[in-house]
Structure 1
């Protein structure tokens, strides 16, 4: 019944397709009533919870399709393709997109550890995924509903929003996603720190040697550990992040040259060549043919 209540609340507060702000930082609702094929996106640390319909994400060829029995957990920035292939007016998709604040998640994980909390054992392979589908549990559902109930009052939202969001973070860390999220937000996770650095410096030259040194690893060890966490080699990851960001910028109205420069390409011909190799179209063809919906971001 709680999931049905969540669905009704989202439906009542989303008048159009796309993202709707809730007044709580990092918490947005979304609706989709048309089929959208998977297109380039960049997931910052977040969870995506669907209460009606199904959503799809693709990371390095690995396909994740999820509905209201699992939510997507992405604790580090990841270049993905995402879409809503089955959405329609008769079968609308309703869901929530919730950013994960790394500082808050790390502090909460440390508090749980200091309090003697035993995080659940995760049977999956932490080394082979940058994102994971996680089973909904009752605590997660209740925390999500309590967060949504605040939307009826601006004052409640402003005063209680941060506490309710912290409660939701807590249910994530103590649930099936606990070990996976803790692995990403742990203070000693050099790969997570490297990804954060890459994501915020895409417009600059990125040296894998420098990243390895910052992580306190040899280049070979850094390469191996990075691929274990993200499924991609560091150079491939940087290229995917740059091209996905560029594709999004172009679809939002940036010129091809502006988008290329903003993600670190100084050679237009190299940008066009690598863009076409990844997406099968030149940047200009993409600009003319694609409209990137906000709902997939």
Structure 2
């Protein structure tokens, strides 16, 4: 059986059922399922470190100045937080676009690598790669998706399956990328720690000098490598991270004013301006459109 057929026969029905049941974000932390029944407009977001598999359809992403296109049977690893503009290219009601994604946890990667010697530094490492799907990941992904039908088992079994998936990624086609990103002294790893700090402390004031010191870089070197790797400045990254989180919370039917304040905005009008500039529409209209694309029920007042 081909990789694509294996994905569509084993994972396709599970992803479709769970996407219709839960929407994009599932009750398992870090596990996302996507189902689109038509091509979409470009969507700007901050892509967190993630492993993602396209099961059916086609997606295209603009990461910096690189266009990345991945079809059914392709998988992607993004090793650091990256601003991404992506859209669904191929999808229909008869053959929806289907994908499953799992957030990468570097604490698990560090633990699994243990005392293994770090690989020699590579100078041509990019923070993301697209590879053919590794069939050894079929079984753990199926078990993870089936776990959503047994919520009482999630706290115990989800961490174990996540660890298994991470281990298989470290043994498969993404091994070199993940091991290079795990080099604590490497520039990409340092910037990854910085973007994680911004993401985890999104509502805090950003002091670039303090963050540069935290990752053991000079301010000039930090600015240069941050822009080279993420394609934006630290302050731009923080703004996009705040707006991405706000969009997710609005999708879950939280109030606009409350969300704007909680992600670090002091002015609702400024939040609305920044949101519209990034997503092309005011918050309420954008979220309504996104809910329709994802076939979610309308948000309650």
Cα 1:40/1:245, change in 2 over 3 Å = farther
Instruction: Give the stretch that moved more between structures: 194-203 or 162-171.
Output: 162-171
Equivalent position of 2:142 in the other structure: 148
In 2, distance between residues paired with 1:43 and 1:209? Answer: 24
Cα 1:231/1:145, change in 2 over 3 Å = same
Q: Does the Cα contact within 8 Å between 1:248 and 1:292 map onto a contact in 2?
A: no
Q: Does the Cα contact within 8 Å between 2:36 and 2:293 map onto a contact in 1?
A: no
Q: TM-score, normalised by structure 1?
A: 0.77
In 2, distance between residues paired with 1:260 and 1:159? Answer: 34
Q: Shift of the alpha carbon at 1:191?
A: 1.5
Gaps of 5+ in 1: none
Q: TM-score, normalised by structure 2?
A: 0.77
1:134 aligns with 2:130: yes
Cα 1:8/1:274, change in 2 over 3 Å = same
- Following superposition of structure 1 onto structure 2, how do residues 1-297 of structure 1 map, counting pairs within 5 Å? 1=1, 3=3, 4-13=5-14, 14-15=16-17, 17=20, 18-19=23-24, 26-60=30-64, 62-111=66-115, 113-114=116-117, 125-126=124-125, 129-130=126-127, 132-136=128-132, 140-148=134-142, 151=146, 164-188=161-185, 189-283=189-283, 286=286, 290-291=290-291
In 1, distance between residues paired with 2:287 and 2:166? Answer: 38
Q: Does the Cα contact within 8 Å between 1:251 and 1:292 map onto a contact in 2?
A: no
- Note the aligned Cα RMSD (angstroms): 3.6
In 1, distance between residues paired with 2:28 and 2:286? Answer: 34
SS of corresponding position for 2:42? strand
In 2, distance between residues paired with 1:107 and 1:26? Answer: 18
Q: Shift of the alpha carbon at 1:28?
A: 4.9
| Per-residue CA distance 1:207-257 (angstroms, 9 max, x = gap) | 112111212222111101212221222122112212232333334433332
| Per-residue CA distance 1:255-291 (angstroms, 9 max, x = gap) | 3322221221112333333333333444455456554
